[in-house]
Structure 1
Amino acid sequence: MIRPRVAVIAAAGFGGRMMPVTKSISKEMLPVGNRPIVDYAVENAVKAGVEKIIFITREDDDQLRSFYSKPKQALVDGLASIGKTNIIPDIEYLHTLAEFVFVDQPHDGRYGTGLLPVIAQQALESEELFWLLAGDNAAFRPDGRELELLLQTLNEHDMHSAIACTEVPLQNVGRYGVIEYQDSNDHKIFNRIVEKPAPDQAPSNLINISSYLFHADIIDICKTIEITDNEYLLTDAFEEYSKRHPMLTWPITGSFIDVGNPKAFAEANQLVINTIRG
């Protein structure tokens, strides 16, 4: 039975489509409800048994460090002084959720998701399996159990690698990386990703949401990736990786939320707020 104890969360982007607000607020810290978007990814990871979270960050960004650290006593005292003691537990527990490690993305002229496992390698130490998650989107369930359910399915089928996905209308697949899979009894096995296909050429309507469970082999495979359009793309490692480690294709059971553009940001907030009201 597998139970990965480490998650790597990508949090080094500039949030270009959300400028100018992301000039001073990290994209991963944009609020959805009363929590930053990244906290939904953290919650999913922790409820799946993760004990250590490695953030890949920009060296000039201390917002994540501040959020997942012990609150300053002045803040706690200030809340108490105005009768808001009920709020204090909501901020005091954050730094206890996991061991948080922050790794700066190097400024060496290279860019892309294919570098993430390599950058995290030292912090991963000898971990055989790890989650790799995006910091600016998440699978939202009110109970935060999306990755826990994914893990249960992996264990049922004696697998240890996965790619999460969500359905979109077929007419919208041209915006995304679309997953081709094969059915295997009651689950789906990853074949490949087709980037931005025309609807009549799409292998499915399941799109990649950049949430994965990997064996550590992905690190060495990523070191062999060649640059594509000025980026090192993680998906370029999938052909070789999936030959070694079959990947479960997991359509999420919750709702996909992200803050990548103003429309998605507004929709994510509306969905979460409606859930809270309900």
Structure 2
Amino acid sequence: MPPRVRKAVIPAAGYGTRFLPVAKAVPKEMLPLVDKPVIQYVVEEAVASGIEDILIIISRSKRPIEEHFHPAFDLETELAAKGRDADLVELRRMQTMARIHFIWQPKMGGLGDAILYAQDHVGNEPFAVLLGDTVVTTNDAKPVTRQLADVVETYGGSAVALQQVPREKVSRYGILGGDEIAPDLIRATSFVEKPKPEEAPSNLAVSARYVLSPRIFDHLRKTPPGKGGELQLTDAMASLMREETLHGLRYDGARHDIGNKLDFIKANIHFGLQRDDIAPALREYLKTLV
């Protein structure tokens, strides 16, 4: 029986150059969706998936992420003095919902390189990977990370979240091909990073969430740099597939990629419309724009 998935790794070290000039001082993971930073949504998904231990990989200028999850006793004292009990409860919940650790990636070398920094923390057990600049929502009661953990805890190996994308856009993503063994569950036979449309094994794109076997570290170390001179996690997973099963899970939901300006604005509108306190006024405003 595969062990339970208890740990998560959140890569959040990238420069975020598409958000310059603000990204020079403010990590893109700290950009707000309404009034909560992107990274908090990601951490909350991990916690809702049963994760107890989270490692966030950061770099220079990412200190605000660390500070966000660190206790702020002076702020707590001020909130208590002003009777802002609801804010105080939320602040303390955020700081205690999981054991959160940080490690630095001193030089950008790709997602695969970032994951390698997590080996000592993860040890010899399966672990989740949640990209720190992407929020994933589902129409299912279970978060995507929990669904992937269920697959790995049942079948072993590794699992990735999948979404269908237009064929002409497959070159933007890691693309998985394989055989459907259960509704929405694919046993992978190929895994390609950003293929040309005519070379793609399918239009099923990896969607920012993974649960990986610890053997991925051996394959990351022996995988040569790929596109852009970076160590690609996809290349290492393609190598791992020769030894262990890789599953892909199509989920019913949406990926909110905060890595570019347009999707960031769309995500704020989406999450704003979920909020009872501002949704009515936001809907009325949106009507004035058409």
Give the TM-score taking structure 2 as reference length.
0.85
| Cα deviation code 1:140-196 (max 9, x no counterpart) | 24866222233334445x234101122223333333222222222432112223344
Whether 2:43 is the aligned partner of 1:42: answer yes
Partner of 1:14: 15
> Superposition pairs for residues 242-261 of structure 1, below 5 Å?
242-261=241-260
1:201 deviates by 4.7
Partner of 1:234: 233
Partner of 1:121: 119
- CA distance in 1: counterparts of 2:250 and 2:200, whole angstroms: 16
Partner of 1:209: 207
- CA distance in 2: counterparts of 1:190 and 1:38, whole angstroms: 30
Equivalent residues of 1:26, 1:61 under 8 A apart: yes
1:236 deviates by 1.2
Partner of 2:33: 32
1:203 deviates by 3.0
Amino acid at match of 1:25: V
Partner of 2:286: none
In the superposition, relative to structure 1, how do residues 196 and 122 fare at CA in structure 2: closer, same or farther (>3 Å)? closer
Partner of 2:4: 3
Partner of 2:156: 159
**Secondary structure in structure 2 of the residue aligned to 1:93:** helix
| Cα deviation code 1:17-51 (max 9, x no counterpart) | 11111111111111113221122221221122211
**Secondary structure in structure 1 of the residue aligned to 2:163:** strand
**Secondary structure in structure 1 of the residue aligned to 2:245:** coil
Unaligned runs of 5+ residues in structure 1 are none
Amino acid at match of 1:207: A
**Secondary structure in structure 1 of the residue aligned to 2:175:** strand
- RMSD value, Cα: 2.2
Partner of 2:283: none
> Superposition pairs for residues 104-115 of structure 1, below 5 Å?
104-107=104-107, 111-115=109-113
Amino acid at match of 2:217: I
1:197 deviates by 4.1
**Secondary structure in structure 1 of the residue aligned to 2:222:** coil
- CA distance in 1: counterparts of 2:126 and 2:195, whole angstroms: 31
Partner of 1:169: 166
Partner of 1:75: 75
**Secondary structure in structure 2 of the residue aligned to 1:203:** coil
| Cα deviation code 1:123-151 (max 9, x no counterpart) | 22x33111122111131248662222333
> Superposition pairs for residues 265-276 of structure 1, below 5 Å?
265-276=264-275
| Cα deviation code 1:244-277 (max 9, x no counterpart) | 2211101222211121010110111112222234
Unaligned runs of 5+ residues in structure 2 are 280-290
- CA distance in 2: counterparts of 1:117 and 1:175, whole angstroms: 21
> Superposition pairs for residues 118-157 of structure 1, below 5 Å?
118-124=116-122, 126-141=123-138, 145-156=143-154
Equivalent residues of 1:69, 1:94 under 8 A apart: no
Q: 1:222 aligns with which of 217, 220, 223?
A: 220
Equivalent residues of 2:138, 2:251 under 8 A apart: no
